[in-house]
Amino acid sequence: MRNDSEITATAGTAQAGGDGGNVILNSDFILAFPTTNQHEITAEAFTGNGGSINISTNNLLGRDNLNISASSDSGIDGTISVETPDVDPTSGIIELPTVPIDAEAIFAQDLCKFENDQIAKGSSFIITGRGGLTPTSEESLDNLDNVVGWANRDDIEVSENGVVGVRQRSTTETETTNYPVVRQSQGWVTTADGSVWLVANSPETIPQNAKIVHPDCGNSSQ
C-alpha cells in the first residue's frame, strides 16, 4: 500500500444509518510504505454498528503506517482480527563472545595424556566409515580386501569395567637389542672355490724379494 491507499467498507454517510461492511484480506505479505498520512483499512459506521475486518498474512510490514478501524460513532464497534505467524525473528540469534578463542591455549593442552590410569580421561575417537555403503548408488564396493585387522599390544590392560589403560613397563622388562658394529674392510681373501671376500682384518702376507730378471740373462753359476 502506498500514496495514502484506502480499503474501506464504511456504511452510509455522515450521521446516517447503516452497519459497516466486512473486509477480508488473505495475502502472503502486506507492505505499507511510509506516507504523509496513514493508509486506511476501515469498516466504520455512523449510527449503525461497525463492521468486521479479518486480515490473514505471513508478514505485515509497516504496521505503524496503517490505520485499521471498525468503529461506530453511535452504535457498537465492530471486530478486527489480524493473524500472523507467531515467529520471533530473533529466536535463532545467539550472542557471540566478545573475547575470541585462544587457539594457542587449546593446542598447548595434552589431550591424550595419561591420567587416572586412562588415556585422555577415557575419551575415544571412532571412525565409523560409511557403514558398507558406496558414496553414490552407481559405484561398487571395490575395497573389500583392504580391511585392517585388530592389532594387539602387550602393554594394554583392560579392567573389569571395560576401561582400557597402558601398563607401565619397568626397566627390567625393557629389552635391549645389541646390533653388530659395522667395520670398514681392511683386505680381501680368496676362498677355495674362488670366491673373494672382503675382511675387516688384514690377512697375513709373506713378503717376497722384488727381483727383476732380464730374459737374456741365464741363471748359471761358475
Question: What secondary structure, in 3-state letters, does 77-107 show?
Answer: CCEEEEECCCCCCCCCCCCCCCCCCCHHHHH
Q: What would the pLDDT profile of 126-172 be if each residue is shown by its tens digit? A: 766 666 677 777 777 665 555 556 666 565 665 655 555 555 555 55
Q: Quick one: cell of 210?
A: 722384488
Confidence of residue 221 (pLDDT cuts 50, 70, 90): very low
Q: What SS3 state is found at 198?
A: strand
Residue 169, pLDDT score: 57
Is the pTM higher than 0.85? no
Q: Where are the domains of the chain?
A: 6-83
Q: What whole-number distance in Å separates Cα of residue 155 and Cα of residue 44?
A: 89
